[in-house]
Amino acid sequence: DEIVDTAQTFIGIPYQWGGCSPDSALDCSGLVLAVYQLNGLNVPRTSEDQYRNGRQVMADELEKGDLVFFSTSSNGRVSHVGIYVGDDKFIHAPGRGKTICSEKLSTSYYRDRFYGACSYLR
């Protein structure tokens, strides 16, 4: 629950590619990095490394604080990450011109691009 509570405090902060400062702007993996560090946990910097180094979990096994990954580019690789907060929702930094927000995993955009999930908490 601490991971979720921390992630929720970032809602509304602007997206910035390469951003990893909670005081100004964050990208998707920077958000994960900041939230986890504020809770005393270390994760790699990039979404691809975060996926590769976490404990893989199935989508139907998701727990609060787990990371959800998406392939949003044409190369078919991990390119986006969010923090699962329960009830089919995740918090993420969606992209340029947007702010950190909560979305549903079941929306067609994210469902179609879902790549996998992992945990650093169990």
Q: What pLDDT is attached to residue 19?
A: 81
- Looking at every residue in the chain, the average pLDDT score rounds to 95
Rounded CA-CA distance 29/95 in Å is 11
Q: Could you tell me the pLDDT band of residue 74, with boundaries at 50, 70 and 90?
A: confident
Helix (H, G, I), strand (E, B) or coil at 80: strand
Residues classed as catalytic: 28, 80, 92
Instruction: Evaluate if residue 91 carries a pLDDT over 90.
Output: yes
Hey, CA dihedral for 55, 59, 64, 70, is it positive or negative?
Answer: positive
Alpha carbon 28 to its chain centroid, in Å, reads 6
pLDDT classification of 66: cutoffs 50, 70, 90: very high
C-alpha span between 78 and 89 (Å, rounded): 19
pLDDT category of residue 46 using cuts at 50, 70 and 90: very high
Question: Considering only 22-26, 41-45, 86-90, 103-107, which range has the smallest mean pLDDT?
Answer: 22-26
DSSP 95-120: -TT-B-EEEETTSHHHHHHEEEEEES
The answer, as to whether pTM is greater than 0.85, is: yes
Over residues 63-88, the mean pLDDT reads: 96
Q: What is the arithmetic mean of pLDDT over 32-46?
A: 97
Cα 105 to Cα 33, 36, 38, 45, 80: the distances in Å are: 21, 21, 25, 23, 13
pLDDT at residue 37, rounded to an integer: 96
- Going by their DSSP bridges, the two strands 89-92 and 80-86 should be labelled as antiparallel
The yes-or-no verdict on residue 29 having pLDDT over 90 is yes
- Please report where in the chains the tokens 């996998």 appear, as a residue: 116
